[in-house]
Amino acid sequence: MEKKVLIPSDISQPGKDYLAEKGYTIKMGRGTDEQTILEDVADCDALLARNEHITRAIMEAAPRLKVISKHGVGLDKIDLDAARELNIWVTNGPLSNTVAVAEHTMMLILACAKKLVFFDRAARRGDYDIRNRVKGMDLEGKTLGLLGLGKIGHMVAKKAINGFGMEVIGYDPFLPADRWDPEVGRRETMEEIFAGSDIVSIHMPSTPETRNSVDRRLIGMMKPTAYLINAARGDLIREADLAEALQNGAIAGAGLDVFQTEPPSPDDPLFQLPNVTVTPHNAALTLETTDRMGLHAAMGIDEVLSGRQPSWPVVVPKEPRT
C-alpha cells in the first residue's frame, strides 16, 4: 500500500523532493481550517504541519495517521495530549531555525538600540537635524537579559558576547547547571532579569505557565532606558501592559516579531507608537531556514514510517500505530 503524506500548507521544494525520492505520495491540502484538514487527512499516514491547528478531531479522523511532523520548532498549535492518547508520533525540527531567529533577534536589538526605524523615517522627510536631537545607544558593555537558554537563546548569547561585547545574564529553570554556559550569568528569577538588564529578550515556549507572564509588574521593573525584544511567541506578553509602558515612557522601546493575534490589526495600539519596531513573524523565514525546516520535517516523517527512531521526537507513543 502506498504511504501518503498530507501537507496542508505548501513547503519549500527540498522537503517535497526528499519525500518523493523516498517513494511517498504527497497530498497537497485544500485548505488549513479544521474541517478541510479533517477531510484531507482521512487516508494519510503522515501530516506535515506548519501553522495549522492540529486538533484531536483531526487525529481521530485519520485511522492510518502515524506521525505529525512539525515544520520548525513551535508545538503550541498541536494537541500533544491527544497525540499521546492516540499513539501518534510527533516530531519537530529544533535545529532548523536557530541561526535565523538568533540573527533576527540581534537585528531587532540593534534596530531598537540605534533607533533605526525612527532615524530612517526622519531622514526620508529631510530632517537631518534629528541626529543632533536624538541619540542611539551602544551595545558594548550593556547587559542583555535572556528569558530562556535553549538553542536560540544560547546562540543569541554567543553573538551578543563575542560580536558586541555585551554582558549576558539568563533565566531558565529547566536548564541543568552542568549545561549552563559559564559566560552567561545565571539568575534565579525573572524579576532579576527585568530589573538588571538594558535589553530583555524573550526565548521561552508558549505554555500555560508562560502565557501572559510578561505583564505590567515585570515590565515595571525595567529601566526607563531599557528595551524589550520578543521573537518567540506573541502570547508571552500582555500587550496592553506593554503598550501602556511604551506610551508612558516607562521603557525606551520594544522590538517585536510576534503578536497575541496574528496577523495583528493595522490599528493595533503597538503599531501607533514610534518606539516600537515590528516585523511580520518572519524571523525564521529566511531562504536557508525554510528549506531546512521542510527537509527536517520530511526526514522525521520518513524515519517514523520506515520504522526508525526519529532524530527529534516530541511525543513517543507507547504503542505506535502500525
CATH number, domain of 120, equals 3.40.50.720
Q: Which of 83, 52, 47 is nearest to 300 (CA)?
A: 47
Q: What is the pLDDT of residue 311?
A: 96
Per-residue pLDDT band for 1 (boundaries 50, 70, 90) equals confident
Residue 113 · residue 136 · CB < 8 Å: yes
Residue 260 and residue 198 in one domain: yes
* DSSP class of 187: -
Q: Are strands 143-147 and 185-186 parallel, antiparallel or unpaired?
A: unpaired
Taking each helix axis from N to C terminus, what angle separates 98-113 and 116-124, rounded to the nearest 10 degrees? 60
Residue 163 and residue 291 in one domain: no
Residue 158 and residue 272 in one domain: yes
Find the mean pLDDT for residues 20-39: 97
Residue 208 and residue 173 in one domain: yes
Backbone angles phi, psi at 171, to 5 degrees: -130, 120
Looking at the domain assignment, is residue 46 inside a domain? yes
Q: Which of 93, 87, 90 is nearest to 78 (CA)?
A: 90
pTM of the complete model: 0.87
Residue 78 and residue 146 in one domain: no
C-alpha–C-alpha distance, residues 87 and 2, integer Å: 21
Cβ neighbour number for residue 319 with a 10 Å cutoff: 6
For 150-183, what is each residue's pLDDT tens digit?
A: 999 999 999 999 999 999 999 999 999 889 999 9
Residue 64 and residue 155 in one domain: no
Distances from the Cα of 163 to the Cα of 19, 149, 167, 188, 198, angstroms:
39, 18, 11, 26, 17
Looking at the domain assignment, is residue 89 inside a domain? yes
Q: What is the pLDDT of residue 322?
A: 83
Q: What is the pLDDT of residue 159?
A: 99
Looking at the domain assignment, is residue 208 inside a domain? yes
C-alpha–C-alpha distance, residues 168 and 183, integer Å: 7
Looking at the domain assignment, is residue 202 inside a domain? yes
Query: Which residues have a catalytic role annotated?
Result: 233, 262, 281
Looking at the domain assignment, is residue 321 inside a domain? no
For 201-241, what is each residue's pLDDT tens digit?
A: 999 999 999 999 999 999 999 999 999 999 999 999 999 99
* DSSP class of 177: G
C-alpha–C-alpha distance, residues 121 and 264, integer Å: 22
Q: What is the pLDDT of residue 265?
A: 94
* DSSP class of 283: T
Residue 181 and residue 263 in one domain: yes
When divided into structural domains, the chain yields a total of 2
Looking at the domain assignment, is residue 320 inside a domain? no
CA atoms within 13 A on the CB side of 271: 11
Per-residue pLDDT band for 300 (boundaries 50, 70, 90) equals very high
Residue 187 and residue 257 in one domain: yes
Residue 116 and residue 88 in one domain: no
Per-residue pLDDT band for 283 (boundaries 50, 70, 90) equals very high
Looking at the domain assignment, is residue 13 inside a domain? yes
C-alpha–C-alpha distance, residues 7 and 17, integer Å: 13
Cβ neighbour number for residue 74 with a 10 Å cutoff: 17
C-alpha–C-alpha distance, residues 180 and 148, integer Å: 11
Chain CA centroid to CA 221, Å: 25
Residue 149 and residue 296 in one domain: no
Q: Which domain holds residue 82?
A: 4-96+287-315
Cell digits for 90?
510527533
Cβ neighbour number for residue 106 with a 10 Å cutoff: 21
Residue 112 and residue 165 in one domain: yes
Backbone angles phi, psi at 188, to 5 degrees: -95, -10
In a 10 Å sphere around its CB, with 0-12 CB exposed, 13-18 middle and 19+ buried, how is residue 162 labelled? exposed
Residue 153 · residue 170 · CB < 8 Å: yes
Looking at the domain assignment, is residue 304 inside a domain? yes
Residue 191 and residue 107 in one domain: yes
Q: Which of 238, 117, 103, 223 is nearest to 163 (CA)?
A: 103
